[in-house]
Chains A and B, each alone.
Chain A
Amino acid sequence: MQFHGVPDADAKSKLSPSFKGKRGWRLMGLNITTDGAVKGFFGGNAYLAILVLLFICIFLLRSGLGFVPGYRVELGEARSSGIELTNKVRYELTGYTAILARANQAFIAEKRHRFGEQESTIYLYEEFEALIDDNFEDAIEEYTDLDEGIQKTATGEKLRKDIAKACHKIPEEELLLAISRRLPDLTQISPEAKQQAVTLAQEYAINDAETPDAIDEVNTRINEEMGQFHAVIKKLKAAGKQLRDLEAILTKHTGETDRILKLNRQTSESIYALENGLKKANKRGDSPDTITAIEQRLHKTKNSFIEIDTEKRIQSVYAKIESHDAILDKLVSESTAAFDLLPDNIQNEKSATTIAQARILTDEFKIIITQQKQNISSWRHDEKVNLLSTLSAYFFGSQWQTGSPWQNTYGLLPLLTGSLLVAGVSLLIAVPLSIGSAVYVNQFAHPREAGLIKPAIEFIQAIPSVVLGLFGVLVLAGLLKDWSHSPLLSWIPGFPITERLNVLLAALLLAFMAAPTIFTLAEDALNNVPKAFTEASLAMGATKLQTAIKVVLPAALSGIIAAIMLGFGRVVGETMVVLMVAGNKAEIPNFSEGLGVIGQPVHTMTSIIAQEYGEVSEGSLHWQALFMVGLVLFTISLIINSTCQRVLNKKSK
Chain B
Amino acid sequence: MPRSENPFKAKRGWKQLRGKLGIGIFGVAAYFILFCAVLIFGQIAYKGAPTFVKGEAPFINTEFFTSNPEILRVWHDAEGNKFSMPDKEFDIWREQNPAAQIIAPHALNYSAGGIAGPLVGTALLVFFCMIIALFIGISAAIYLSEYCGRGRVMSIIRLSILNLAGVPSIVFALFGWGIFCHAAPVLVDSVDDRSLLSFAIGSSYLSFQGWGTSLIAGSCTLAIMVLPVIITACEESLRAVPNGFREASFALGSSQWQTIRKAVLPYALPGILTATVLGITRVAGETAPIMLTATSTDKTDMPMQALQDEGLWAFLTQSVQALPFHIYTLAKLPDDPLSKPMQHGATFAFLLLVMGFAFISILLRNRVRKKLKW
| Stretch of A31-39, A179-187, A295-303 with 4 or more beta carbons under 8 angstroms from chain B | A31-39
Contact of A22 among B18, B250, B362 (CB under 8 A): B250
**Contact string against B for A residues 125-138, beta-carbon threshold 8 Å, 1 for contact and 0 otherwise:** 00000000000000
Residue of B nearest to A475 (CB): B43
Q: A466, B328: Cβ atoms under 8 Å?
A: yes
Chain B residues whose C-beta falls within 8 Å of the C-beta of A627 in the assembled complex: 174, 178
Interface size on B, residues (CB 8 A): 101
Query: What string of 1s and 0s marks CB contacts (under 8 Å) between A449-481 and chain B?
Result: 000010111111111111111110111000000
Q: Does B201 contact A (CB under 8 A)?
A: no
A42 near B142 (CB under 8 angstroms)? yes
B148 with A462: CB separation less than 8 A? no
**Interface membership of B59, Cβ < 8 A:** no
In the complex, the answer to whether B19 meets A26 with C-beta atoms within 8 Å is no
Chain A residue with Cβ nearest B154: A10
Chain B contacts for A470, CB-based, 8 A: 327-328, 330-331, 343, 347
Having A13-B150, A467-B285, A633-B168, one finds 15 other A-B pairs with CB under 8 Å, namely A15-B149, A19-B246, A23-B256, A59-B178, A432-B29, A434-B29, A436-B26, A440-B29, A444-B26, A456-B37, A463-B355, A464-B284, A474-B343, A515-B33, A545-B18
A447 at the interface (CB under 8 A from B): no
Of residues A35, A41, A626, which shows the largest number of chain B Cβ atoms within 10 Å of its Cβ?
Answer: A35
Provide the residues of chain B in CB contact with A23, threshold 8 Å: 250, 256
Instruction: Sample 24 A-B pairs with CB under 8 A, ordered by A number.
Output: A10-B148, A12-B151, A15-B149, A19-B250, A23-B256, A39-B256, A45-B139, A46-B144, A433-B32, A453-B30, A462-B355, A463-B355, A464-B350, A465-B285, A470-B347, A516-B33, A545-B19, A569-B168, A570-B166, A609-B174, A637-B168, A637-B171, A638-B167, A640-B166
In the assembled complex, A52 has its CB within 8 A of some CB on chain B: yes
- Is A26 touching B285 in the complex (CB atoms < 8 A)? no
A636 to chain B, nearest CB (A): 9
Distance A439 CA – B246 CA, assembled complex (angstroms): 39
Closest 3 CB pairs of A and B: A573-B168, A436-B29, A13-B149
Q: Does B71 reach chain A (CB closer than 8 Å)?
A: no
B287 pairs with A464, CB closer than 8 A: yes
Q: Within B246-278, which residues are at the interface with A (CB < 8 Å)? A: 246-247, 250-251, 253-257, 260
**Contact present for A642 and B26 (CB under 8 Å):** no
The verdict on A630 contacting chain B, using a C-beta distance below 8 Å, is yes
Residue of B nearest to A459 (CB): B358
A562 to B287 Cα, complex, angstroms? 27
Known contacts A49-B227, A437-B33, A645-B162, A613 near B177 by CB under 8 Å? yes
Decide if B128 is an interface residue (CB 8 Å cutoff).
Answer: no
Complex partner residue of B36 from A459, A512, A546, A618, CB under 8 angstroms:
A512
Q: A436 touching B358 by the CB < 8 A rule?
A: no
* Contact between chains at A465 and B287 (CB < 8 Å): yes
Question: In the docked arrangement, what's the CA distance between A44 and B246, Å?
Answer: 23
A459 contacts across to B, CB distance below 8 A: 37, 355, 358-359, 362
Q: Does any Cβ of B come within 8 Å of A374's Cβ?
A: no
Residues in A whose Cβ lies below 8 Å from that of B253: 26
Query: How many Å lie between the Cα of A475 and that of B165 in the bound state?
Result: 32
Contact across chains for B331 and A580 when beta carbons are under 8 A apart: yes
Assuming the contacts A15-B149, A444-B27, A637-B167, asked whether A56 and B175 have C-beta atoms less than 8 A apart, the reply is yes
Known: A42-B143, A626-B174. A467 touches B43 (CB 8 A): no
CB contacts (< 8 Å) of A215 on chain B: these are none
Q: Are A471 and B287 in contact (CB under 8 A)?
A: no
Known A12-B149, A467-B350, A512-B36; contact A439-B331, beta-carbon cutoff 8 A: no
Bound CA span A543–B28, Å: 19
> Which chain B residue shows the least CB distance to A441?
B30
B136:A49 contact, CB within 8 angstroms: yes
Indicate the member of B22, B166, B343 with the most A CB atoms within 10 Å: B166
A19-B194 in contact (CB<8A): no
Known: A543-B19, A545-B19. A53 touches B171 (CB 8 A): no
Expressed in whole angstroms, the Cα–Cα distance for A627 and B284 within the complex equals: 25
B255–A27 CB distance below 8 A: yes
Q: Which residues of B contact A277 (CB under 8 A)?
A: 193
> In the complex, A99→B31 CA distance in Å?
52
| Residues in B neighbouring A59, C-beta threshold 8 A | 175, 178-179
Q: Which residue of B lies closest to A12 (CB)?
A: B151
Q: How many A-B residue pairs have CB under 8 A?
A: 293
Given A15-B243, A38-B257, A465-B285, A575 and B169 touching (CB < 8 A)?
Answer: yes
Task: Kindly state whether residue A2 has any CB partner on chain B within 8 Å.
Answer: no
Docked Cα-Cα span, A237 to B164, in Å, equals: 57
- Residue interface bits A618-641, CB-to-B below 8 A is 1, else 0: 100000001100100110011011
CB-nearest residue of chain A to B174: A630
CB of A326 closer than 8 Å to a CB of B: no
- Whether the Cβ atoms of B174 and A613 lie closer than 8 Å is yes
Give every chain A residue within 8 A of B169 (Cβ-Cβ).
573, 575
| A-chain residues with CB within 8 Å of residue B257 when the two chains form the complex | 34-35, 38-39
Is B171 a contact of A634 with CB atoms below 8 Å? yes
Q: Within residues 543 to 594 of chain A, which ones have a CB less than 8 A from any CB in chain B?
A: 543-546, 548-549, 566, 569-570, 572-576, 580
Whether the pair B23, A12 counts as a contact (CB closer than 8 A) is: no
When chains A and B are docked, how far (Å) is the Cα of A281 from the Cα of B176? 31
Name B160's closest neighbour in chain A (CB-CB).
Answer: A53
CB distance from A546 to the nearest CB of B (A): 8
Is B187 in the interface zone, CB < 8 Å from A? no
B85 close to chain A: CB less than 8 A: no
Chain B 220-237 interface 0/1 with A at a Cβ cutoff of 8 Å (1 = within): 000010011001000000
CB distance from B264 to the nearest CB of A (A): 12
The answer to whether B29 touches A433, judged by C-beta atoms less than 8 angstroms apart, is yes
The answer to whether the Cβ of B137 comes within 8 Å of any Cβ in the partner chain is: yes
| A641–B287 CB distance below 8 A | no
Which of B29, B347, B362 meets A467, CB within 8 Å? B347
